[in-house]
């Protein structure tokens, strides 16, 4: 009744060994391409920080020799710092220095900048990681449920929570949090990373006190550090939650209107299976980027949070040194933040490849 | 005529809208036996909505009412979701228009077929795998082992639709609703997909509801045809009797099709009449083919 020979079935020829080798070659090439573009981005970042360092109306020589130095002393320092060389030469020197981890000496702390960064960066990393964990572990489920029960109570609550998160100034929320949970209720530790008893007691391994105290097996120190970090981390977590839950909700709504969701329902899948097994796998792909960006923005220094909670992190370090005109430190910090962003981008790019079969 | 698998009486689907209620389906009645029943109509005539209402897939605020909606003598009208879920897939299933969108892009073909099977039949992964391979063979896919591991974007449209058919028939349903199953496919593979579907439906003694806007296709492929207009069935005909259609809408549809054997300079334009919307329903439930 119907003619069956109307067309071929368009089969894919079975993959042979040379095909597979070619596929692997293609994949390697695309990864190489990613790495190359990252290297270029990094170079661009260094170029920008270098130029900023040169055009700032702060005289680096004067910062070193002080304003009582004689002209001869000034000239000697000027030459020693290589500032008499052409800019191109100076840039290459800067490049080699930075690549070997030499950001120069900080004027405000008197230490090599790299040492300062090794001290302050783990503090920020610890805070940002915990904040992101909180934001993701609450924000993602909240966004998914809000989308699945669109217009329901949870959706309304999530909307208000996110709105407050977007619009509330962090310093006010931080101060109120300290007042309530530290000042009145006494549930958490106060500002700083540790109580005075534990200060410097945990051997330095990663610089992240939570991790270090676990390595040392020091439960007292861990509990103390946790009671100090939980409030600022919750605060940062709340802000990333606001963003992540909104993004999750809109990704989810988009997927739930897709045809394959109807297919799942036709199969007889429960709504939960449709959402978590089918739709969630699809939203996890763009979600990776959102989470990476949100993590990056927390790493960049939640300056206000760090100041309110006397958290000796990168944001506070950059702000302090900037106000002191300590350009080596500022640029060093900037390079670290920029590199983090680039690294996170690379990471989300690679995860993309793993999660999305279409990208292969 | 075999006994009827599905009985539909006065089915209505209503959506609230700003201008009051919108009636997508307005009192549709038909019986489905172990046959191929075509449902034809233009966009918005309610043919897809009828299929979805039978599957219980009209989501709130949409509302489904009927005097009777019975599957094998058992009412399935507004069943609790949990019980409806047991029926979906295992007793009534549906193949949708475009396999590009109706297959999950990030799950392998094999996993999706096995999921459909295991959901109702249970059993180990190995059994499900065997069944999936068997189904892929049944829809004439070469090298099913390899296709099991592919993702939907790696297969062609025709192949995707055959995978869809394999998946939806894996739990052995009694009724298949095919909602424009070939509209998104290349003309050259349409016939092939249809004949595969036809063969499977016939071998298993299933009932098929074939929703389409393609009158020619339906008349060649189905036993009986329902013509829908504005949410109602305006005419029911044996497919072979299509040229004897009496309703002016059906006649209009037929005469607007170009014919190779009788070329005309200008195709007539279908003139719709308001009276068709609410005119007396001409339903012939005899089902005699």
Nearest one of A358, A286, A236 to B155, comparing CA atoms: A358
User: How many residues would you count in chain A?
Assistant: 360
A358 reaches B (C-beta below 8 A): yes
Q: Does residue A108 sit within a domain?
A: no
A272 reaches B (C-beta below 8 A): no
Identify whether residues A229 and A290 lie together within a single domain.
yes
Range of the domain at A330: 121-359
Q: What is the pLDDT of residue A291?
A: 94
Q: Among A2, A6, A8, whose Cβ lies nearest the Cβ of B221?
A: A2
Q: Exposed, middle or buried by CB within 10 Å (0-12, 13-18, 19+), for B89?
A: buried
Q: Among A1, A7, A268, whose Cβ lies nearest the Cβ of B188?
A: A7
Identify whether residues A88 and A137 lie together within a single domain.
no
Mean pLDDT calculated for residue range A174-194: 87
Q: What is the pLDDT of residue B287?
A: 40
* Predicted ipTM of the assembly: 0.85
B87 chain-A contacts, CB cut-off 8 A: 268
SS3 B24: strand
Nearest one of B96, B149, B103 to A12, comparing CA atoms: B149
Backbone angles phi, psi at B32, to 5 degrees: -125, 125
- The answer to whether the beta carbons of residues B239 and B219 sit under 8 Å apart is yes
pLDDT tens column, A147-177: 998 888 999 999 999 998 888 888 888 889 9
Q: Does residue A74 sit within a domain?
A: yes
CB < 8 Å from B in window 225-264 of A: 258-260, 262-264
pLDDT tens column, A211-231: 888 888 888 888 888 989 999
The chain-wide mean pLDDT, for chain A, equals 85
All structural domains of chain B: 6-100+173-278 (3.40.50.300)
A285 chain-B contacts, CB cut-off 8 A: 106
Q: How far apart are CA B50 and CA B228, in angstroms?
A: 10
Task: Say if residue A142's pLDDT is above 90.
Answer: yes
Backbone angles phi, psi at A336, to 5 degrees: -60, -45
Q: Among B88, B103, B104, whose Cβ lies nearest the Cβ of A265?
A: B88
Task: Find the distance separating the first CA and the last CA of chain A, reported in whole Å.
Answer: 42
A269 reaches B (C-beta below 8 A): yes
Q: What is the pLDDT of residue A18?
A: 65
* A&B contacts, CB < 8 Å: 127
Identify whether residues A78 and A126 lie together within a single domain.
no
Q: Does residue A3 sit within a domain?
A: no
Identify whether residues A126 and A94 lie together within a single domain.
no
Q: Among B102, B154, B158, whose Cβ lies nearest the Cβ of A263?
A: B102
Identify whether residues A125 and A216 lie together within a single domain.
yes
CB contact under 8 A, B102 and A262: yes
Task: Say if residue B284's pLDDT is above 80.
Answer: no
Task: Give the CA distances from residue B147 to residues A329, B8, B108, B216, in Å, rounded to whole numbers and listed in that order.
Answer: 57, 38, 9, 33
Optimal mutation site among B83, B163, B192, B196, interface A, most CBs of chain A within 10 A: B192
Nearest one of A300, A331, A330 to A317, comparing CA atoms: A330
Q: What is the pLDDT of residue A301?
A: 60
Identify whether residues A89 and A125 lie together within a single domain.
no
Q: How far apart are CA A161 and CA A154, in angstroms?
A: 10
Q: Among B98, B107, B154, whose Cβ lies nearest the Cβ of A259?
A: B98
Q: How far apart are CA B260 and CA B99, in angstroms?
A: 32
Identify whether residues A29 and A177 lie together within a single domain.
no
Optimal mutation site among A263, A271, A285, A353, interface B, most CBs of chain B within 10 A: A263
Give how many domains chain A has, as a whole number: 2
At A248, is the pLDDT very low, low, confident or very high (cuts 50, 70, 90)?
A: very high
CB contact under 8 A, A357 and B106: yes
Shortest Cα–Cα distance, A85 to chain B (Å) = 56
Token pair of B230 as six digits: 């504005």
Optimal mutation site among B53, B106, B163, interface A, most CBs of chain A within 10 A: B106
Q: What is the DSSP string of A73-128?
A: HHHHHHHHTTTTS-HHHHHHHHHHHHHTT---B-TTT-SBHHHHHHHHHHHHHHHH
Q: What is the DSSP string of B135-187?
A: HHHHTT-SSHHHHHT--GGGS-HHHHHHHHHHHHHTT--SEEEEESTTTTS-H
pLDDT tens column, A327-354: 888 889 888 888 888 888 888 888 888 8
Helix (H) or strand (E) holding A158: helix A153-167
Query: The domain spanning residue A184 has which CATH number?
Result: 1.10.3720.10
Task: Say if residue B26's pLDDT is above 80.
Answer: yes
Closest residue in A to B58 (Cα) is A262
Identify whether residues A67 and A168 lie together within a single domain.
no
Q: Which residues fall within 8 angstroms of residue A289, CB to CB, at 6 or more apart?
A: A348, A352
Task: Say if residue B149's pLDDT is above 50.
Answer: yes
Q: How far apart are CA A331 and CA B25, in angstroms?
A: 68
The domain boundary residue, chosen from A66, A99, A132: A99
Q: Among B89, B186, B190, whose Cβ lies nearest the Cβ of A267?
A: B89
Task: Say if residue A306's pLDDT is above 70.
Answer: yes
Q: Exposed, middle or buried by CB within 10 Å (0-12, 13-18, 19+), for A357?
A: middle
SS3 A42: helix
Shortest Cα–Cα distance, B272 to chain A (Å) = 32
Identify whether residues A264 and A301 lie together within a single domain.
yes
Beta strand pairing status for B92-95 and B175-179?
A: parallel
Task: Give the CA distances from residue A2 to residues A31, A175, B40, B220, B243, in Å, rounded to whole numbers and listed in that order.
Answer: 49, 76, 19, 8, 19
A71 reaches B (C-beta below 8 A): no
- The answer to whether the beta carbons of residues A333 and A317 sit under 8 Å apart is yes
Q: Does residue A116 sit within a domain?
A: no
A272 chain-B contacts, CB cut-off 8 A: none
Identify whether residues A146 and A289 lie together within a single domain.
yes
Q: Does residue A200 sit within a domain?
A: yes
B184 chain-A contacts, CB cut-off 8 A: none
The domain boundary residue, chosen from A99, A131, A153: A99
């Amino acid at each position: 009744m119907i003619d069956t020979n109307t067309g071929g079935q368009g089969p894919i020829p079975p993959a042979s060994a040379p095909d597979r080798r070619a596929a692997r070659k293609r994949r390697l090439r695309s990864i190489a391409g990613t790495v190359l573009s990252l290297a270029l981005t990094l170079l661009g970042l260094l170029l920008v920080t270098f130029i900023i360092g040169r055009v700032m109306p702060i005289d680096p020589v004067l910062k070193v020799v002080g304003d009582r130095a004689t002209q001869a002393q000034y000239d000697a320092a000027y030459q020693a710092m290589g500032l008499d060389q052409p800019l191109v030469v100076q840039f290459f020197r800067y490049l080699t220095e930075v690549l070997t981890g030499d950001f120069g000496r900080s004027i405000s702390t008197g230490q090599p900048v790299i040492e300062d960064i090794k001290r302050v960066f783990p503090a920020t990393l610890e805070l940002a990681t915990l904040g992101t964990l909180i934001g993701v572990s609450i924000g993602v489920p909240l966004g998914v449920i809000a989308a699945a029960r669109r217009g329901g109570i949870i959706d309304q609550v999530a909307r208000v929570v996110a709105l407050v998160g977007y619009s509330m100034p962090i310093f006010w929320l931080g101060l109120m949090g300290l007042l309530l949970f530290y000042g009145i209720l006494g549930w958490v530790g106060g500002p700083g990373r540790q109580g005075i008893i534990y200060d410097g007691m945990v051997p330095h391994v990663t610089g992240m006190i939570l991790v270090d105290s676990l390595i040392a097996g020091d439960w007292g120190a861990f509990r103390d550090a946790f009671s100090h970090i939980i409030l600022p981390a919750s605060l940062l977590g709340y802000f990333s939650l606001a963003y992540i839950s909104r993004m999750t909700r809109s990704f989810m709504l988009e997927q739930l209107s897709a045809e394959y969701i109807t297919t799942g329902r036709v199969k007889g899948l429960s709504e939960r299976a449709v959402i978590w097994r089918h739709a969630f796998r699809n939203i996890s792909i763009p979600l990776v980027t959102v989470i990476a960006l949100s993590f990056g923005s927390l790493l960049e220094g939640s300056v206000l949070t760090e100041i309110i909670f006397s958290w000796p992190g990168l944001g506070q370090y950059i702000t302090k040194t900037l106000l002191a005109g300590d350009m080596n430190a500022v640029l060093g910090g900037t390079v670290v933040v920029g590199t983090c962003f680039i690294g996170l981008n690379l990471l989300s790019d690679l995860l993309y490849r793993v999660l999305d079969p279409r990208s292969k | 005529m075999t006994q009827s698998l599905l009985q539909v009486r006065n089915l209505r689907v209503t959506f609230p809208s700003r201008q009051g209620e919108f009636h997508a389906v307005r009192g549709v009645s038909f019986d489905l036996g172990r046959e191929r029943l075509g449902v034809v109509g233009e966009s918005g005539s309610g043919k897809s909505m009828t299929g979805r209402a039978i599957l219980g897939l009209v989501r709130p605020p949409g509302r489904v009412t009927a005097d009777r909606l019975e599957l094998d003598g058992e009412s399935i009208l507004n069943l609790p979701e949990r019980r409806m879920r047991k029926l979906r897939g295992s007793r009534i299933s549906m193949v949708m228009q475009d396999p590009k969108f109706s297959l999950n892009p990030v799950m392998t073909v094999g996993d999706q077929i096995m999921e459909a099977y295991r959901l109702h039949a249970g059993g180990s992964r190995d059994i499900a795998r065997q069944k999936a391979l068997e189904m892929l063979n049944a829809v004439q896919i070469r090298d099913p082992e390899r296709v099991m591991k592919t993702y939907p974007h790696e297969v062609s449209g025709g192949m995707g639709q055959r995978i869809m058919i394999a998946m939806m028939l894996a739990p052995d349903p009694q009724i298949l609703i095919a909602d424009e199953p070939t509209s998104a496919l290349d003309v050259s593979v349409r016939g092939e997909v249809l004949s595969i579907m036809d063969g499977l439906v016939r071998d298993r003694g299933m009932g098929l509801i074939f929703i389409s806007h393609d009158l020619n296709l339906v008349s060649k492929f189905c036993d009986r045809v329902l013509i829908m207009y504005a949410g109602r069935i305006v005419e029911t005909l044996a497919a072979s009797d299509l040229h004897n259609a009496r309703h002016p809408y059906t006649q209009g549809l037929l005469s607007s099709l170009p014919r190779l054997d009788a070329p005309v300079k200008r195709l007539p334009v279908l003139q719709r009449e308001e009276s068709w919307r609410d005119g007396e329903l001409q339903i012939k439930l005899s089902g005699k083919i």
